[in-house]
Chain A
Amino acid sequence: MGKGVPGAAAAYDTPPTTARAVSPGDQPPALATPLVRIRGLHFARGSKCIFNGLDLDIRRGAVTAIMGPSGTGKTTLLKLISGQLRPQAGIVEVDGADVHRLSRRRLYALRTRMGMLFQSGALLGDLTVFDNVAFPLREHAHLPQSLLRRLVLMKLEAVGLRGAATLLPSQLSGGMARRVALARAVALDPMMVLYDEPFTGQDPISMGVLVTLVRHLNDAGSLTSIIVSHDVPETLSIADAVYVIAEGRVICHGTPAEVASAAGPRARQFLDGQPDGPVHFHYPAMPLADELLKLGDERAC
């Protein structure tokens, strides 16, 4: 497994095996190391294997997309990176720290440097938009009220919702709720933001706004962004690097252009939205004729 995020070679349909320089030469060594480094990750829910020796690197300062069909463990991967879940085996390092070996106190300290945008927004329902964005600042920053107010209004201005500061989450549309959640995720100026399906269920206007915001916030705030999504065109349009995962491993990775031209059948089925292929349309079952005849036999009895 190589270090760094893929950048030059063509995308492939097998786990990455070679080291690939991401930002050649011009980065100091500390910045050249990946912000997130995953090696040999094994995770299962009951008897169902989600990850089977996953290797993956997230480059600092980049927007990295993790894509794949539904149920392949994309959200689970974010939870493993943020320490919400514990793997059965393997290492997840964030900024050099093994997330699953940290004490609770150190894990919380690390999380103050991470933001996460949940699929549902996950805004606190009894707080206004302003108070939701102010929440992490009040919990961790202990700022004077006047400074806190300015910071929150600036964050809301960045997502275009300063005018909605007094509204409750129940008064927001889905797209607005996600923008507020995004403002909250970057309230503490984190080093990394994790996006869980940020574009799902959005109308074209909201989607366009969110796509632009993710890229803009990443560049303006010198963040590292990890986007989990299965919205192919939108995600490829803003990503610097893309990983496609399926069946517990990386099946394809590279730049968006490389991934878009990937030749592997699994990657092609996902990227082209083909209903049948290596991922079958039908859930495993006995042949239809056998089942129908079996039903007939049972009724005859």
Chain B
Amino acid sequence: MLTDALARLGRSGIGAIAGIGRAHLLLVAVLGGLPALVTRPRLLLAQIYNVGVLSVLIIAVSGLFVGMVLGLQGYYVLSQFGAEESLGVMVAASLARELGPVVTALLVAGRAGSALTAEIGLMKATEQLSALEMMAVDPIRRILTPRFLGGFLAMPLLAAMFSTLGVLGGWFVGVGLLGVDDGAFWSQMQAKLDFREDVLNGVIKSLVFGVVVTWIALFQGYDATPTSAGVSRATTRSVVHAALAVLGLDFILTALMFGE
């Protein structure tokens, strides 16, 4: 009984390590296809549209509501200390440093990442990837690389949109509904928000998240068992693994960027 349990543990451990190895080999192959993409910009534009433009609505609405909640909660806390004029900088810093990159990555993992996994997995299950191979077309370079670069480039743009709409949401609640001074809201934000410390670090985070979320989505699809159940499991794994990776990496990046 004990030896069976140990054997199962060993098998799952070896399976996990082998999976990590396959994921890294796939990443190398995907990156190897980047130079060829220069001559085929249409493939890239199509994927920026799929990952980026089609995610705009959910990102915009989510950003607006998150900003509104931040404005409301921030006002309740800050007003206890008579510091409600600092609401603008609080909302903007929270969004630029943390919530913009992280929530955008989670939303992209849920919408575009799951769609990428399902698409690639179904292409595998319906032999489309094998058909490409048989037509002497490398499916990694033709299908995966444009999606990878599209996700990588779309993520910071979507995060910027999320943060911008979040600030507007915070302004609407703070200034429009709760009576915070308009000039103080914007001037404190302008004075206290540091471009390198806050904005640039947020952009770096969203670039890292763009790589991780898209990589996980593509790998799960490419490595999926080519059945309906296999694709379904891969899609679930894609979202769960991407969410955990984003949250874990956010802690590490925050410690590196803002630690003493």
Residues of A within 8 A of B (CB): 82, 84, 108-109, 111-112, 114-116, 118-120, 122-125, 135-136, 139-140, 181, 184
Q: Are A122 and B126 in contact (CB under 8 A)?
A: yes
Across-interface contacts of B122 in A (CB, < 8 A) = 125
Across-interface contacts of A114 in B (CB, < 8 A) = 134
The reply to whether the CB of B127 lies closer than 8 angstroms to some CB of chain A is yes
- Distance of A183 Cα from B135 Cα, bound (Å): 13
Across-interface contacts of B136 in A (CB, < 8 A) = 108-109, 111-112, 136, 139-140
Across-interface contacts of A108 in B (CB, < 8 A) = 136, 138
Q: Are A116 and B134 in contact (CB under 8 A)?
A: yes
Given contacts A108-B138, A125-B126, A135-B135, 8 further A-B contacts (CB under 8 A): A84-B134, A109-B136, A111-B134, A111-B135, A114-B134, A119-B127, A122-B130, A139-B136
Q: Return the CB mask of B130-170 against A: 1 if under 8 Å, else 0.
A: 11011111100000000000000000000000000000000
- Distance of A204 Cα from B185 Cα, bound (Å): 75
Across-interface contacts of A124 in B (CB, < 8 A) = 128, 131
| Chain A to chain B: the 3 pairs with minimum beta-carbon distance, closest first | A122-B131, A108-B136, A122-B127
Output the nearest chain A residue to B138 by Cβ-Cβ distance. Answer: A108
- Distance of A274 Cα from B138 Cα, bound (Å): 43
Q: Are B127 and A118 in contact (CB under 8 A)?
A: yes
Q: Are B126 and A120 in contact (CB under 8 A)?
A: yes
* Count of residues in B whose CB is under 8 Å from the partner chain: 13
Q: Are A122 and B128 in contact (CB under 8 A)?
A: yes
Q: Are B134 and A82 in contact (CB under 8 A)?
A: yes
Q: How distant is A227 from chain B, measured CB to nearest CB, in Å?
A: 16
Q: Are B137 and A116 in contact (CB under 8 A)?
A: no
- Distance of A265 Cα from B122 Cα, bound (Å): 41
Q: How distant is B127 from chain A, measured CB to nearest CB, in Å?
A: 4
- Distance of A84 Cα from B124 Cα, bound (Å): 14
Across-interface contacts of A82 in B (CB, < 8 A) = 134
- Distance of A106 Cα from B1 Cα, bound (Å): 52
Q: Are A84 and B137 in contact (CB under 8 A)?
A: no
Across-interface contacts of A125 in B (CB, < 8 A) = 122-123, 126, 128
Across-interface contacts of B127 in A (CB, < 8 A) = 118-120, 122
Output the nearest chain A residue to B126 by Cβ-Cβ distance. Answer: A120
- Distance of A118 Cα from B126 Cα, bound (Å): 9
Across-interface contacts of B126 in A (CB, < 8 A) = 120, 122, 125
